[in-house]
Structure 1
Amino acid sequence: MNDATTSLLTEHFSYTPLSLIDDIINSINNLIYQAISGLETSLIATPPERLGFAHATNGSTIPETDEDGNVLYPEAKLELENGLHQLETLLEANVDKAFDKFEIYLLRNILTVPEDLLSWVRLKHYEGLSFTASSDTPTPETINAQRKKLLETRKLNRSLKEECASNDAVISQLKSILSTVETAKPNGAEEKAAKPLDLSFLTSSPAARQLRVGVDAGSNVKHTPLTTNTTFILSQLPALQATLENLRPKLASLPGSGEAMETKSKRDERKAYIESRIRLHLERAGQLAMGDDGNPVVAGRRIDISEAHALENVANMLTREPQSS
């Protein structure tokens, strides 16, 4: 019996042919065990004298007896156990030999399908089914391609979720900056008031209009969005950092420069850096004029007190250390 025949018969019977033969052999073995057990019970209950056991009658020895006065035969139990074991072994050997022939006969003549008829046999639950492959039948290559697409889609979904969470955190921080500011009472006690923070000066102030930042509906001049200027400034930071790293060794090699750099405060350095960047930006934009003495002249204006307060509030909120709750 080959694998195709075994598969067909297993699908037809809903169990393998060998399992049927094993059940028959197990049933016969159980009958043997029951017969041996019944024979053992009967022999133990039979008096040893009736089975042919007897003591010597020469009068020299006295046989052992139990509490009821019955004569004991210790050798009888051992001989019965050996005899029953030999009988069980003999029956099992005969059953195995006979049912090996029985198994071979069943598999060759009854539980089998001729090879020339195997491809023609169709079970009932196969009726009406078409076994011809269609054009859209998936192949291992297409399945692997779809699996790869699914993995890439999951990676993209995970990265988009992480980016969305990062954007939500940034938006939350920005909203916390724009939500409320702390004001002080006349007596010195602090009080939190729901006062909106006005940042319109960043896009609608005279300085913003002069630098053409933001949107001015009443002007025909093309304005640059604030994000464009911020992006440009951020793009210049790596070049500025590289230039700063190159200049630091040169400044340290100048005589007296080390002591001057140590005594100079960080606030003065920040102020000088900001002024230089503003001057460079104005020069590039063509808004920085040169005086008769060769020094640059910046066309400035007097800022309003509201703009100064707003800038001061923003600087305080960005530099304030978080208080422990």
Structure 2
Amino acid sequence: MNDATTSLLTEHFSYTPLSLIDDIINSINNLIYQAISSLESGLLATPPERLGFGHSSNGSTIPDTDEDGNIIYPEAKLEIENGLHQLETLLEANVDKAFDKFEIYVLRNILTVPEDLLSWVRLKHYEGLSFEASLDMPTPETIHAQRKKLLETRKLNRFLKDECAQNAAVISQLKSILSTVESAKTSDTTDESKTIPAKPLDLSFLTSSSAARQLRVGVDAGTNPKHAPLTTNTTFILSQLPALQATLEQLRPKLASLPNSVDNMETKSKRDERKEYIESRIRLHLERAGQLAMGDDSNPVVAGRRIDISEAHALEKVANLLTQEHKSS
């Protein structure tokens, strides 16, 4: 009996042929155990005298008795158990030998399908099915390609989910900026704090300011083709960024190759700017003090007393502090 026959019969019966034979053998063994158990109960209930057990009648010994006065035969129970064990072993050996022959006979002659008929047997649930190989049958190569596509699809899906999460975070931050409500705590006479909600952040200057109107930014196009919405201008600016970056990369080496005079010019321009800023702050201070500056901006003439060198140094320190504060802001 080969594997093909076993598979066919198992699919037909819904159980293996060996399981049927095992059930028959187990049933016979159960019958043997029941017979041995009944025989043991009958022998133990039979008086030992009827089974041939007895004491010597010479009167030299007195036999032991139980509570009812019956003579006890200790060797009777031991001999019955040994005999039943031998009987059980003999029956099991005979059953095993007989049913080994039974198993071989059934598997070879009853629960079997001839090999020449095996390919012709068609079960009922196989009706209408074709077992011939089709042209579109998957091959190991196609299966590997599909598996690779599946892995790439999962990778892309994971990447898109991450990007979606990032975009959601950015959108949430932008919405929080647009709908930010600040709270200011003020104390009254009873030292109780009250929360006063502030107005939402106004970003209308991006589209409705004079500069935005002048640049035609943020207004609807309508019938005027010269007007462009904010998104169009932003898209155009983003499209020009690569070209600006490329130009910047080209200019950086040329800027590094220029002579040091450029640095000197930059340093000189910074000094002139700082000097003009200090002079403007001095003029403002003098105007507030009532000592107005006279003359043009290039050669200011200050009316008033002569400034001491220490006052000039103090004013210069104040100007430096103001300059630092201006730069930090």
Give the shorter-chain TM-score range. 0.5 to 0.7
Q: How do 1:11-26 residues align onto structure 2 when only pairs under 5 Å count?
A: 11-26=11-26
The yes-or-no answer on 1:156 pairing with 2:168 is no
2:95 corresponding residue in structure 1: 95
Contact 1:213 1:226 in 2 (8 A): no
Q: Secondary structure at the match of 1:191?
A: strand
**Cα deviation digits, residues 130-150 of structure 1 (max 9, x gap):** 222223333444344333333
The yes-or-no answer on 1:84 pairing with 2:92 is no
Q: 1:92 to 1:215 in 2, by over 3 A?
A: same
**Cα deviation digits, residues 185-210 of structure 1 (max 9, x gap):** 999976213x3433343466566688
1:192 corresponding residue in structure 2: 197
Q: What is the total number of aligned residue pairs between the two structures? A: 238
Note the C-alpha offset of 1:72. 0.3
Q: Secondary structure at the match of 2:61?
A: coil
Note the C-alpha offset of 1:227. 6.5
Q: Which runs of 5+ in 2 are unaligned?
A: 189-193, 253-328
1:33 corresponding residue in structure 2: 33
Distance (Å, rounded) in 1 between the aligned partners of 2:201 and 2:74? 111
**Cα deviation digits, residues 249-286 of structure 1 (max 9, x gap):** xxxxxxxxxxxxxxxxxxxxxxxxxxxxxxxxxxxxxx
Q: Which runs of 5+ in 1 are unaligned?
A: 244-318, 320-325
Contact 1:182 1:190 in 2 (8 A): no
Q: Report the structure number with the largest CA radius of gyration.
A: 2
Q: How do 1:281-320 residues align onto structure 2 when only pairs under 5 Å count?
A: none
TM-score (norm 2): 0.61
In structure 2, give the amino acid aligned to 1:126. Y
Q: How do 1:1-325 residues align onto structure 2 when only pairs under 5 Å count?
A: 1-182=1-182, 191-193=196-198, 195-202=199-206, 205=209, 214=217, 225-226=233-234, 232=241
Q: Larger relative CO (CA 8 A, sep 6+): 1 or 2?
A: 1
In structure 1, give the amino acid aligned to 2:9. L
TM-score (norm 1): 0.62
Distance (Å, rounded) in 1 between the aligned partners of 2:183 and 2:91? 106
In structure 1, give the amino acid aligned to 2:233. P
Q: 1:36 to 1:177 in 2, by over 3 A?
A: same
Q: 1:158 to 1:56 in 2, by over 3 A?
A: same
Contact 2:10 2:16 in 1 (8 A): yes
Structure 1 window deviating more from structure 2 (184-193 vs 23-32): it is 184-193
Q: State the superposition RMSD in angstroms.
A: 3.7
Q: 1:215 to 1:61 in 2, by over 3 A?
A: same
Note the C-alpha offset of 1:157. 2.4
Q: Secondary structure at the match of 2:197?
A: strand
Distance (Å, rounded) in 2 between the aligned partners of 1:184 and 1:68? 108
